[in-house]
A = this chain, B = another copy of it.
Amino acid sequence: MLQLTKRTEYGLIALVHLVDRRDEFVSAREIGDAYHVPRRLLAEVLKELCRADLLLSQRGANGGYSLAREPENLTLAEAVQILEATPSAKDGSTCETSAWSSCDLISTCPIKTPIERLRAGIWGLLNQTTLRDLATPAPVNPLGELIESAQASSLSARLS
């Protein structure tokens, strides 16, 4: 329903936390405590990110996790794709390959195409945001109107 799950948000928070701690392994405990996130759950999420090679892990005492890549070239899209929907791998999710294992309305659905374009639009947003962007506080402007106008002029006008 158009929202990120807690798992995903926890994961993103962790990623952001790790941005300032390159060349160092940070434990799930530390991150969990820092943001009042259930440790165990966070741990599961981190393991997932690790399996997806977004993070490196070091076991044993003094162990923990560390970014496997520069924050500049880790897009929100990648992270969300991994974190959202634990079970079935979810790609750029069209109507066919989405979470609903292939919606059974496809044959007759009159809004299939527009919906897919909408999804592409969202996907675009995620793709253009890097972990670095997420991590840096807030660069400029009020922005709300900027978004609207930018879209009015170029993007959504053709979203049909």
Contacts and interface: CB of A to CB of B under 8 A. Distances in A.
A155 B147 contact: yes
Contacts of A61: none
A150 B155 contact: yes
A84 interface: yes
A60 interface: no
A59 interface: no
Number of copies: 2
A57 B78 CA distance: 45
A109 B154 contact: no
A84 B1 CA distance: 7
Interface stretch (A3-11, A21-29, A48-56): A3-11
A85 interface: yes
Interface of A: 1-5, 8-9, 12-13, 16-17, 34-37, 76, 80, 84-85, 93, 98-100, 104-105, 108-111, 113-115, 117-118, 120-122, 124-129, 132-141, 143-144, 146-148, 150-160
Given A12-B115, A151-B155, 12 more contacts: A1-B3, A2-B2, A2-B84, A4-B115, A13-B111, A36-B108, A110-B135, A113-B137, A114-B129, A122-B122, A124-B151, A134-B160
